[in-house]
Each structure stands twice: as structure tokens, then as C-alpha cells.
Amino acid sequence: MIPVAVAFWSTYRVVGPLDHSGIASTKAKTLLPDDTFRQGYSTGRGEIQQPYASRPELSRLEARLDHLTRQIEAQAKVLMKINAVIASNEESSSDGDSDADMLRQAEEQAERDSEEQFALLEQSVHSEAADPEWSTHAIAQIEQILANDGFANTKAYNIDCRATLCKVEVAHNDPDAFADFQMQFPMQVANILPQTMMTHEDTGEGQTNTVVYLAGEGYSLPNSEP
């Protein structure tokens, strides 16, 4: 998959300081987002009545940006590995090796690397001693998020939290539920578990099973790469 750059645009209005009549002057102009005006601007006193975005909204936006950044970084690493394997094969291969063969070998190497990473994550969760207070809180938060209407077609069949790590196993009834979960779940849980890695498997019966590994705030997921 080719990484996709995501950009965000905001429009602004120019507003100056207010004189005693409550009219904005043309001096010392300041840029304010358009949404500020929709949320309320007091022309009589020159005060913004409501903030441009509340703290929870900012947290969700930060979590979304962090999730998208991690996706792009992960995809970029896969592409770099594939390119490295292709380059190595081009140097050592005979003339009879085709581009298709080299690409297949690169994809196989990327798959082996992925299997090593998730094996490490699985072992790390199972070997970590439990912190009852932290794990109980984390499980409750995850269950509350998964109870949202947006995940109606996603059912959790195992949630295991320890002291810094969690493992969540869910089943999706259709492709749309799987796609929604991939995008929404990491953002909604980011306040307490900001790092996530997922792997999934199609059952062949119209259902997809997903395993999510998560690390608590201030901790990192184990990485098989040096």
C-alpha cells in the first residue's frame, strides 16, 4: 500500500481590535478561524465567548493525527524493506530472475518481519505481570468504547490487559465494520492507550477477526526491529 499524505485546511477572517463602539478597527489585525465566529464572538467586549475547540475535541484530533502518522510510518517502513530486498536481489540475482520473482521475495520477507513483530507482541503481553488497578480501568474503558453504536457489528471475544499492555480480539460481521474499526478504535482509545498495532484474518465466511495490541500512556509497544 502506498503511503498517502493527509492535509488539513482552515479558512480565516481578519479581525482587528474593537473600539468603544464595538466595531473592529483596521489596525493590528489578527487572524481567527472561521469556526470561531460560528461558536460566538462578543463584539461589545472583544472577547471570544467559546474556545475554537474544547480539550476533548483537541485530544481526539491529536489522536487521529497520531494514528494517521503511525499508519504512514508503518507503510513507509514496509516499502523501504521491499525496496531494499529488491535492490539486494538485483545485485545478486542471475539474469533469469524476473521482476515478479524479486517482488515476491520482497513480499515474503515483509511477511516474515510482520510475523516476528506480532509474535513478540503476543509474548510480551503474556509475560507481563498484571497490575489489577490499571488493567481493570483499561478493560472498562475498552468495553465502554466498544459498546458505542459505531461498533454495533464488531464484537469483542477477548480483552486482556496487564500493567502497560493490552490485547483486544474482536470479530467484524462485514467489511464496513472492519474498516470503521480500523479507523475509529485507535482514535477513541488513544487517551489511555495511545500506541496500537493490528493484525487481521478473514475467516472466509464474510467475517474478519482482528487482534489489537496496545500500550498505555508513557509506554511503547515492543519492537522486533533493532
Task: Judge whether 97 lies within some domain.
Answer: yes
137 against 68, higher pLDDT: 137
Task: Name the pTM for this structure.
Answer: 0.61
Distance CA 131, CA 35 (A): 43
| pLDDT tens for each residue of 42-99 | 445 454 444 455 666 676 676 667 666 766 776 676 667 667 666 666 666 555 566 6
Burial of 80 (0-12, 13-18, 19+ CB in 10 A): exposed
Q: Which residue has the higher pLDDT, 224 or 42?
A: 224
Instruction: With respect to residue 222, please indicate whether it lies within any of the assigned structural domains.
Output: no
Q: Is 225 contained in some domain?
A: no
Nearest partner of 118 among 154, 84, 153, 74, judged by Cα: 74
Q: Are residues 62 and 114 in the same domain?
A: yes
In which domain, by residue range, is 160 found? 132-215
Cell of 85: 530486498
